[in-house]
Amino acid sequence: MLAGTGSDVGKSVLATALCRIFLQDGYHPAPFKAQNMALNSYATPEGLEIGRAQAEQAAACGLQPHTDMNPLLLKPNSDHTSQVVLNGKPIGNKSAYEYWRNDPALRAEVVAAYSRLAAKYNPIVMEGAGSISELNLRDHDLVNLPMARYADAAVILVADIDRGGVFASCYGSIKLQTPEDQKRIKGIIINKFRGDLRLFDEGRKMLEEICGVPVLGVVPYFKDIYIDEEDSVALEKKTLPSITGQVGGVSIAVVLLRHISNFTDFNILERDPRVNLFYTNNVNDLSRADIIILPGTKATLDDLMELRRNGCAQAIQRAHRDGKMIIGICGGYQMLGQTVSDPEGIEGAISSLPGLGLLPIHTTMTAEKTTRQVNFQFNGHECQGYEIHQGVSDTNEAILQTDHCIGTYIHGFLDNAPVIEQILKGKVENERVESENSRELSPAEFKEEQYDKLAAHVRQYVDIPRLYQLLKE
């Protein structure tokens, strides 16, 4: 188990690296996170929902994602509750207080999922959640040390040195555990180091002395390896530049919604050298963009109301009148329609709102959730994606296009080259030219390359032979 001194210390990425390393070394690994809280999710081949990070880790293991890898997913709503997704299907909403009162049935489901997975794969790369030293939640914890005890897992503590306080966070995280759980923590990985590693040689020795466990590695921060992020903490750290004064490239504005979900939809566009993609809810930046994208959201009506309040709705409508391309994905697609209604209060107290009126659809929120992988045709090309959404719109079209406006329920829509080429057509001076000796990688090939690069990076800085020895002991 990779456990953390806090949130966003890099557990998910390091777990992805270990999944690929174990696969490269001839093992048959699988990822497992008992409970995940995230708005970035993914649909399994069976049409069930799990956290995006575990889907990414499964791919690094060479596996299709399965709900046993993430049996419990919490998706925060707009009203201080979370939708609880158990074994891939939503079972209702709970407040934080209700959830942490602990339901024995949830614990039974979680350990059953782990047991099924462990019977098929070895090793299991487990991931904790947040900090392992939240003492007030320890008795109800499903995902950290209690899960490690059930699995008899060796725990590696991950700490983010970039945020500071690495000595205190490591020492405190270990010493606040029970004596039994302290013995289970077998090593430390220091993550996100910047600068000359030799400057931490003394610190490494000191950390081992005060914590009583070995430092297995100090992993430098990287920028040139692309792994899909788990949640909005990563989005908050992304630069949100104004496009004022920038020259060249197609400016694409992704509207920064309060409840944005599946922002991994834009990772490929972010890396396209022809594109300047940024996230914003600034109306001036929206007015200067060549293309505006309304992304997915966990709370369509709440975010639609906020768009009207902050002026973004009017800015999008003006941009459309001016001939700019507008794209809506999932909840963003629903907002581009004529109306969004919620007669049963699925999302909350708002019963109905007019949409932006750019597409001829009406949407009604329903209790039943659509989750499935899909294949679709776009300009004669076979493409892939997946759907995860509440609500039904009165159209049978997977993709609805009108004059310079596109709407779709399909996540991963923009991962397909034919789609990107269509939306950029006529907007770039120099179209991408492929040399005779080069071939652009497909999204699947690109991901495989990134997993291998990540594995090589972690192998260079983490003592993998020693890690194997700890696991054998």
Q: How confident is the model over 63-119, as pLDDT tens digits? A: 999 999 999 999 988 667 889 999 999 998 888 767 766 678 899 999 999 999 999
Which residue of the set 61, 330, 383, 389 is catalytic?
Answer: 330
Are 208 and 167 part of one and the same domain? yes
Per-residue pLDDT, 243: 46
Evaluate whether residue 237 is within a structural domain. Answer: no
Per-residue pLDDT, 301: 95
Contact yes or no for 145/115 (Cβ under 8 A): no
Q: How confident is the model over 339-378, as pLDDT tens digits? A: 999 999 988 889 999 999 999 999 999 989 999 999 999 9
Are 413 and 269 part of one and the same domain? yes
Evaluate whether residue 242 is within a structural domain. Answer: no
* Cα gap 187→207, rounded to integer Å: 11
Evaluate whether residue 431 is within a structural domain. Answer: no
* Cα gap 143→151, rounded to integer Å: 11
Are 207 and 331 part of one and the same domain? no
Token pair for 43: 């649909």
* Cα gap 206→409, rounded to integer Å: 53
Are 100 and 157 part of one and the same domain? yes
329-368 burial string, b = 16+ CB within 10 Å, else e?
bbbbbbbbbeebebeeebbbebeebebbebbebbbbbeee
* Cα gap 311→173, rounded to integer Å: 45
Dihedral sign, Cα of residue 172, residue 178, residue 183, residue 184: negative
Dihedral sign, Cα of residue 463, residue 468, residue 471, residue 473: negative
Evaluate whether residue 236 is within a structural domain. Answer: no
Active site residue 61: no
* Cα gap 155→174, rounded to integer Å: 11
Residue ranges making up the domain that contains 11: 2-227+448-472
Identify the helix (H) or strand (E) that includes residue 203: helix 201-211
pTM above 0.75? yes
Does residue 4 have a pLDDT over 90?
A: yes
Per-residue pLDDT, 245: 40
Are 313 and 366 part of one and the same domain? yes
Are 410 and 283 part of one and the same domain? yes
User: What percent of the chain stands above pLDDT 70?
Assistant: 92
Evaluate whether residue 54 is within a structural domain. Answer: yes
Are 13 and 134 part of one and the same domain? yes
Are 98 and 178 part of one and the same domain? yes
Active site residue 404: no
Evaluate whether residue 325 is within a structural domain. Answer: yes
- Give the mean model confidence (pLDDT) for residues 284-290: 94
Are 188 and 253 part of one and the same domain? no
Are 98 and 35 part of one and the same domain? yes
- Give the chain's mean pLDDT: 91
Evaluate whether residue 405 is within a structural domain. Answer: yes
Token pair for 238: 């992304």
Per-residue pLDDT, 36: 93
Per-residue pLDDT, 309: 95
Q: How confident is the model over 369-415, as pLDDT tens digits? A: 999 999 999 999 999 999 999 999 998 788 999 989 999 999 999 99
Per-residue pLDDT, 322: 95
Evaluate whether residue 466 is within a structural domain. Answer: yes
Are 120 and 163 part of one and the same domain? yes
CATH number reported for the structural domain that contains residue 383 in this entry: 3.40.50.880
At residue 437 the predicted structure's pLDDT band, cuts being 50, 70 and 90, is very low
Does residue 440 have a pLDDT over 90?
A: no
Are 413 and 457 part of one and the same domain? no
Total of domains in the chain: 2
CATH number reported for the structural domain that contains residue 124 in this entry: 3.40.50.300
